[in-house]
Amino acid sequence: MKFIVSSSELLKNLQVLSSILNTNNTLPILDNFLFDIDQNNLNITSSDLETTLSSNINVESTITSKIAIPAKLLLDIIRNLPSQPLTFSINDNNTIEINSNNGKYAIAYMSGDEYPKAIVVEDSSNINIESNILQNIISSTIFASGNDDLRPVMSGVFFQINSEKSCFVATDAHKLVKYTRNDVKSSSPLEFIVPNKPLNVLKNILDDNKSSVKIDYNTSNAIFKFSNYKLVCRLIEGKYPNYDAVIPKENPNVLEIDRSQLLQATKRASIFSSKSTHQIKLEIKGNSIKISAEDVDFNNKSEEVLNCTYNGDDITIGFNSRFINEMLNNLDTESVRIELSSPNRAGLISPIYNESKEENIIMLVMPIMLS
């Protein structure tokens, strides 16, 4: 039994699918790619039980077979072959032989029937989102999500969509991002929390064009279908925190500044900050902002002054430089607005100008008390 496939096409798909694999699987079968060949269609699957990703490739074949091939070994050999057609021969002695232009390579395989069955999403609802929009949603929020096992609801992005608009939120209790869109709507309200891992996989494989991503979901699982991929994941159970309650409404001190200048200055300051707190200090007075950092353990310190536009009382406030850098890195705008109320209350960062009138983003960062 044989099938022929392009090595470059196979490699592209295997590299994407390998992002699902864990290094310490409880089931040995999950160290394999599942190859499901049905005539001219090859469906390849990888899974960690919580998340399953599959892709379809066209092949030259007349066979029907289902086998599990060791993922690392297969990926290593395909990665080191030049682009060419490869012939896979499935033998009765539980080996699959790969024939290239210059050689042949035999790999032991397992029965595909041992591979876990894909999750079936029953009684599902669905929504369609353009791939470039979904990519923006994920990129704009996921960096703010947490990874604390004690607070699993924060280990993902909260999707909240109704007939008027959509809202996507991520937080780790130290920082928060609220990303809203006016062009993603649903006739029936929906809410669910998607874990970080499948979202990171999606972010890397969604294309920039406006192809449609169909999302089928129920109370416990979701399926994302687009292009030749299908990703199935378990949703995070639990009630998401009341994020609107922590966003301060009265922020009389408003700073506007060039995003790139501020980002570079905070990056430089972070080099001199304490390695335990990563604290930088912002002193805002008149139309200038002084950014300073000090590591008292090693007697290292830095200080820079930038011009800005400021309306409010003089204020000195401390932040974790890593959080500020992450937020500024994930904003695609020339200038940003920073809204503050007091040194012990959260600050808000937002773009002054959005390229798309359909989106709005607010980033919240908690301060560090200055000693």
The predicted-structure confidence for 151-180, as pLDDT tens digits, reads as follows 999 999 999 999 999 999 999 999 999 999
* Pure H helices in the chain: 7-17, 71-79, 131-141, 196-205, 259-271, 321-329
pLDDT at 288: 97
**pLDDT of residue 239 exceeding 90:** yes
Closest CA relative to residue 240, chosen from 162, 161, 146, 157 = 157
Report, as an integer, the average pLDDT of 274-302: 95
**pLDDT of residue 366 exceeding 90:** yes
Closest CA relative to residue 86, chosen from 1, 2, 4 = 4
**pLDDT of residue 354 exceeding 70:** no
Closest CA relative to residue 75, chosen from 15, 6, 9 = 15
Q: Residue 255's domain is classified under what CATH number?
A: 3.10.150.10
Q: Are residues 226 and 131 in the same domain?
A: yes
Task: Read off the tokens for 232.
Answer: 């199935």
pLDDT at 89: 97
Report, as an integer, the average pLDDT of 11-22: 96
pLDDT in tens, 26-36: 899 999 999 99
Residue 45 in any domain: the answer is: yes
pLDDT at 355: 65
9 φ/ψ angles, rounded to the nearest 5 degrees: -65, -40
pLDDT in tens, 75-100: 999 999 999 999 999 998 999 999 99
Closest CA relative to residue 140, chosen from 290, 326, 312 = 326
pLDDT at 351: 96
Report, as an integer, the average pLDDT of 216-233: 95
Q: Are residues 338 and 254 in the same domain?
A: yes
Average pLDDT over all residues of the chain: 95
Give the total number of structural domains in the chain.
3
Burial of 227 from C-beta contacts in 10 A (0-12 / 13-18 / 19+)? middle
Burial of 32 from C-beta contacts in 10 A (0-12 / 13-18 / 19+)? buried
User: Residue 20: which domain range?
Assistant: 2-114
pLDDT at 26: 86
Report, as an integer, the average pLDDT of 145-154: 93
Of 83, 114, 145, the last residue of a domain is 114
Q: Are residues 107 and 138 in the same domain?
A: no
Q: Are residues 251 and 360 in the same domain?
A: yes
Which pLDDT band holds residue 120 (cuts at 50, 70, 90)?
Answer: confident
pLDDT at 347: 98
pLDDT at 344: 95
Q: CA 234, CA 111: separation in Å to the nearest integer?
A: 26
Q: CA 156, CA 170: separation in Å to the nearest integer?
A: 7
> In the chain, pLDDT over 90 holds for what percent of residues?
91
CA distance to 155, 271, 328, per residue, from 369 (Å): 26, 20, 21
**pLDDT of residue 359 exceeding 80:** yes
